[in-house]
Chains A and B, each alone.
Chain A
């Protein structure tokens, strides 16, 4: 069966060619990536992922959020990802996402579909209608997206919450629902542990650090200089 061996060899070579070029060479490339040590801020970027945030990422993965949301800010020239809202952009990111942003993530979920907005910089943005993307906003949004974004096509994730009888004092974590959607008297809606982890993850999504490789495309805002604090030891008065 010489012809079969020839075909076999040819197919093997073609697969090896693409595997080497796409997978192996880039594997060697990426092995050289290291986190960036920033002396001035005294931190390492990207920052290590706390346990609660890591759990939240697993909830994000298990519920399949990546089916509708991307996590990559495309470079300038591709749509309106970057750019402040008053400059014709959606303000989804202050700069494009670079490879090092994802260095610490155990599962990189860039996403393939934008039925919902990009989430990469969620914690560094504000809603167009005002307010902030804080924990309260996220809990309401997950419970019923229509509460905070009327007309949204995102489905409700009420199964991430528990409607339970108020025993003694109401829980501080209870959701503050508008009167039209309030639950029965004596009951409250509290997030489950999965919901809390997921919201912790969403609150951690921030890609604002200026890596050296982003120098020619991004200038971070200069931090506001604090006035020098009075030092009692030197006899200075505030």
Chain B
């Protein structure tokens, strides 16, 4: 593995010897240990919960009789429970962990008050649990990505404030004097979420706006939750880890600046493109379409920077679990943005709107890009916090290959099924009941993909728990004591 040339210390030339630099980095990592590992554990638990719920939902689609006696598990409740557990449980916990670790490292600040932070993390997870439970119990708001009942929102908000405040404190208190590109993306994510969430809660749940303006706000919120809150953390991780592991800087730093600002300004307008053909102002639909195409520019810039960094690093990709996951994430992001632009065209939209194709697209973005980038980052971060290497390389291999295979199966099956579905919906000669029948093979394949993803996630969870147990100082001391006793 290429030696760690600490990127943050490269920005602070007054640091002394490499050994001193490494000690400084180790101290920063040690300070983030407790909260970040707690977030990793919480994220993994929610990942598995979401996977089980997702499997139930996917099974119900091709076998409607599956568990249909229980109102708690009716498809209309299980499906949003799964997406909310995935986004707010897995997605946000993972994003928080990686954001805090990255911010501490890049700002060269040790994270203080770990206890308070841990309390905020627990509070967030309580909020998510209450929210997901509320959806299953029947208090769903039926708003996309916002289905959690209103009583979960204040809990999430307060917890978020605690966690985000810590990231800002680290930024202010840090020794670093310049901002690296990853930090811009983290600032974007940290600022965007409270704005988006509070606007959505107020304008849709607390004091609902009139008529289809609700649909406009809902579309703006759902799309920006992915593009402005989750995706930037993944991009920040990629921008930091790629140069670190490959040992060379980003292809073009100035282009990354352009890419950031272009992305920020146009990504927030792309959400309304999905309302094409609907009962909303026509100019708004057009603005969404234009913005979707504008995203192709940052896509190209990310391509130049990321593929440019990766080229020639084939050997490193094979040997590093992190790089393997990040490569998949980068490819998935390119595809996601391409499909986004394609979906904005009227001809394509009239075919793919309301079909499984959209499910394939969001799976590509949320799992293929965001989750794979998070996995890659965790594979890098966890050993540096526990102090021990990942216990099982075969488990991480299993995780990678089942993830790639499961993802490919799911996305391709849903995309092809969705296109067929769209063609048949547009053809009035096909009775609607037949469309559901024709979807069965695609839905079955997608379920198989979901099972593969779950296997991979279990492999990751086992590896993580093993790693935490091995790295835990209490367990290590106990283990040493046992060995001593055995040796006598």
Contacts and interface: CB of A to CB of B under 8 A. Distances in A.
Q: Are A and B subunits of one complex?
A: yes
Interface of A: 1, 3-4, 7-8, 10-12, 14-15, 17-19, 21-23, 26-27, 29-31, 33, 61-68, 70, 72, 74-75, 77-80, 83, 85, 88-91, 96-103, 105-117, 128, 145, 149-159
A153 B272 CA distance: 30
Given A18-B268, A26-B213, A99 B280 contact: yes
Contacts of A75: 277
B60 A155 contact: yes
B354 interface: yes
Nearest to B79: A67
A64 B278 CA distance: 21
Contacts of B80: 64, 67
Contacts of B264: 10-11, 14
B210 A4 contact: no
B188 to A, nearest CB: 5
Contacts of B432: 90, 116-117, 128
Contacts of B147: 64
Contacts of A113: 354-356, 358-359
Contact of A3 (B179, B284, B359): B179
A30 B210 contact: yes
Nearest to A80: B428
B24 interface: no
B443 to A, nearest CB: 9
A144 B435 CA distance: 19
B268 A15 contact: yes
Contact of A101 (B69, B213, B279): B279
Interface residues of B, number: 91
Looking at B199, B217, B277, B426, the one whose CB has the most chain A CB atoms below 10 A away is B277
16 contacts: A7-B188, A10-B264, A11-B264, A23-B199, A31-B210, A61-B140, A64-B74, A74-B353, A98-B279, A106-B208, A108-B212, A108-B214, A110-B275, A110-B279, A113-B359, A155-B75
B187 interface: yes
A108 B211 contact: yes
A107 B208 contact: yes
B187 A158 contact: no
Looking at B143, B215, B224, B269, the one whose CB has the most chain A CB atoms below 10 A away is B215
A11 B209 CA distance: 26
B279 A102 contact: yes
A158 B211 CA distance: 32
A27 B213 contact: yes
Given A64-B80, A66-B142, A159 B433 contact: no
B439 interface: yes
A103 B211 contact: yes
B292 to A, nearest CB: 13
B278 A157 contact: no
Given A10-B261, A21-B287, A70-B354, A15 B191 contact: yes
Interface in B181-195: 183-184, 187-188, 191-192, 195
B399 interface: no
A215 to B, nearest CB: 16
Given A67-B75, A112-B144, 7 more contacts: A11-B192, A15-B268, A61-B141, A66-B76, A106-B208, A108-B212, A113-B359
A99 B212 contact: yes
Nearest to A83: B428
Contact of B350 (A8, A77, A89): A77
A109 B80 CA distance: 14
Contacts of B324: none
B425 interface: yes
Nearest to A3: B179
B203 A155 contact: no
Contacts of A72: 278-279
B61 interface: yes
Contacts of B210: 30-31, 33, 103
Contacts of B358: 112-113
B26 interface: no
Nearest to A105: B211
Nearest to B429: A88
B179 A97 contact: no
